[in-house]
Structure 1
Amino acid sequence: MNLNMQQFKADFFKALAHPLRIKILELLAEGEKSVNELQSLAGSEGSAVSQQLTILRGKNIVTGTKDGNRVIYSLRDPMIVELLSVAKQIFNNHLVDTISMLDQMKE
């Protein structure tokens, strides 16, 4: 595989490697939102949300569009929704395996 592609993937996954950034992406998967909406829905301070949005914008994962004096954010690529879904399925698979292993240990 091309080294540039591997670096792109590594940088992309680094940009996703924060719980608040994942929460923001999950919220944006439901539709575009302003910083204030994201702050309220995520239950986080505005500065923290803005900081994470800056990282996501820097990696072209989200886009921001000016609407008067506020910025409306959205996912740059709708495939992010699918990626989050696949990650959840992988997590669930690991959870099922762990539960199965614990059940076997009880026996």
Structure 2
Amino acid sequence: MKERTKVKANIFKALGHPTRLWIVEQLADGEKCVCEFVEEVNVDFSTISKHLAVLRHAGVVSMDKRGKQIFYSLKMPCLLSSLDCIDVVLNNQIQHQITLMD
């Protein structure tokens, strides 16, 4: 298996958890502090930090430490167009199911 394919698989693996995928979608609006994720998801700081570490190691997000706060931003904004594509497909499938029920 080629190294490039392994790296791509690692990115998809990092996106394979609902919380991590949600984090990526939240970063579409710009950088966020870890504390913002903790408040929104209602889990402890260490859990969010672990998810962010997985995304960071996969190269999906980058971090910027400012004093005691750490801010994260999307390093791969191209992922957002892929997620938009998935949303279009899901919406079409839902619409198709509704049509079948009528």
TM range (shorter): 0.7 to 0.9
1:8-27 to 2 correspondences below 5 Å: 8-27=7-26
TM-score (normalizing by structure 2): 0.85
Q: How many residues align?
A: 102
Aligned residues of 1:32 and 1:72 also touching (Cα < 8 A): yes
The structure with the largest alpha-carbon Rg is 1
What residue number does 1:95 align with? 94
1:79 aligns with 2:78: yes
Q: Which runs of 5+ in 1 are unaligned?
A: none
Question: CA offsets per residue over residues 37-73 of structure 1, 9 Å max, x none?
Answer: 1111233332221110010001010000111111110
Aligned residues of 1:24 and 1:42 also touching (Cα < 8 A): no
Identity %: 34
Matched AA of 1:42: V
Q: CA RMSD in A?
A: 1.8
What residue number does 1:37 align with? 36
Q: Which runs of 5+ in 2 are unaligned?
A: none
Structure 1 segments (4+ residues) deviating >6 Å:
none
